Chain A
């Protein structure tokens, strides 16, 4: 990547074309750039810095189809001050965007492999663009499996889309929740319990993991037990970000800037930094 001449500190207002409430604390924004701007392009795994006027800015993964440059899609879970205020957005509101930043899941290099996507909680949102990409070139990949773990059934997002995808013969989707009311007919248990069900072939599988660090930690352990090596697992890291482009220093983990060297990391190259207390 060469030095961009775009001023990365300038936020560009975008129009909210659509606001969809996914669950009680999660929503999806569809944004369009102002008239005259070029189409937005990104790679799966990248993020934008979203600015809510007068409130603040947060890094949010892009969760739309990389092939569709007409809109910018972000699924947001209300975790803090800015994201909670964002829940009040509606169609025709405006949001500032800086980006895209970060590296991406190098899926163009994964052709021929079986792909396992392991998503925990809102971690399914940064993985959805991967699925769009793979499905658009389905014949280039082997078995494709999505494991998705959430807190409870009411927290599941992309439900209708997942139900539709479930109908495909060339895609396997397993969903589980940490606990459920009695009407739930699906699996209950932490997301790692889905791994044996996926019946992966460790010799040919690449795993892409996204979710809370603890979820990734235990998923890595289970996958390792199944025989998946460290250089076959990719993780997506999250840290406090202010600039999004490697200048402000906040997102560092050891020598890595998560906004610039990540957020996607090959586990083998990040292993010595991962899950280290107070790093």
Chain B
């Protein structure tokens, strides 16, 4: 447990989090790894965990029948994958696929949700951090939408 706590504490996502909260989170943590090309989740799957990427690269994709899969973002070491576990209906909104061998810490979303309801301080800390992720993702998506390198830049 101690080792997991240490890894969590060092991950940029949990920077500054109080150690007792880290302990709680660590109790929901497991180590996971994916091989290159392995699907991590599909859109519509139950969102019951989120990943802290330690090493590797994951592609977040949208699938359309005519165009196939389009990668809209890659996340790597030091970043977080998956925020749908925090917001109802707790279903994945995108696909995720490991592009190369990826190691991560998986955190049990369902359990964390219950603990967050019980301890609002934990809830607030998680929400603060995940809102940031969503905001960053939104901003990046807007920029990508604007197609700034395109003809009508």
A residues sitting closer than 8 Å to B (CB atoms) are: 79, 120-122, 149-151, 155, 176, 178-182, 184-190, 192-193, 196-197, 211-212, 214-215, 218
Contact = CB atoms under 8 A, between A and B. Distances in A.
B70 A180 contact: yes
17 contacts: A120-B148, A121-B153, A122-B149, A150-B149, A151-B147, A179-B144, A180-B71, A181-B68, A181-B70, A182-B59, A182-B71, A184-B71, A185-B99, A187-B74, A188-B71, A189-B74, A190-B143
Contacts of A179: 70-72, 144
A27 B118 CA distance: 61
Interface string B21-61: 00000000000000000000000000000000000010111
B70 A214 contact: no
A196 B69 CA distance: 27
Interface of B: 57, 59-61, 68-74, 76, 78, 97, 99-100, 140, 143-144, 146-151, 153
Contacts of B73: 188-189
Contact of B148 (A79, A181, A186, A215): A215
A175 B59 CA distance: 15
B59 A188 contact: yes
B149 A151 contact: yes
B97 to A, nearest CB: 8
B153 A212 contact: yes
B75 to A, nearest CB: 8
A182 B61 contact: yes
A257 to B, nearest CB: 22
A143 B37 CA distance: 33
Given A188-B72, A214-B146, 6 more contacts: A151-B147, A151-B150, A181-B70, A181-B71, A189-B73, A215-B148
A182 B57 CA distance: 13
A47 to B, nearest CB: 18
Nearest to B12: A196
Contacts of B59: 182, 184, 188
B147 A178 contact: yes
Contacts of B153: 121, 212, 214
A254 to B, nearest CB: 22
Choose among B71, B72, B76, B140 the residue with the greatest number of A CB atoms under 10 Å from its CB. Answer: B71
Choose among A182, A184, A196 the residue with the greatest number of B CB atoms under 10 Å from its CB. Answer: A182
Given A151-B149, A185-B100, A190 B68 contact: no
Given A179-B144, A188-B59, A189-B73, A120 B68 contact: no
Contacts of B97: 182
A275 to B, nearest CB: 13
Nearest to B141: A190
A214 B148 CA distance: 7
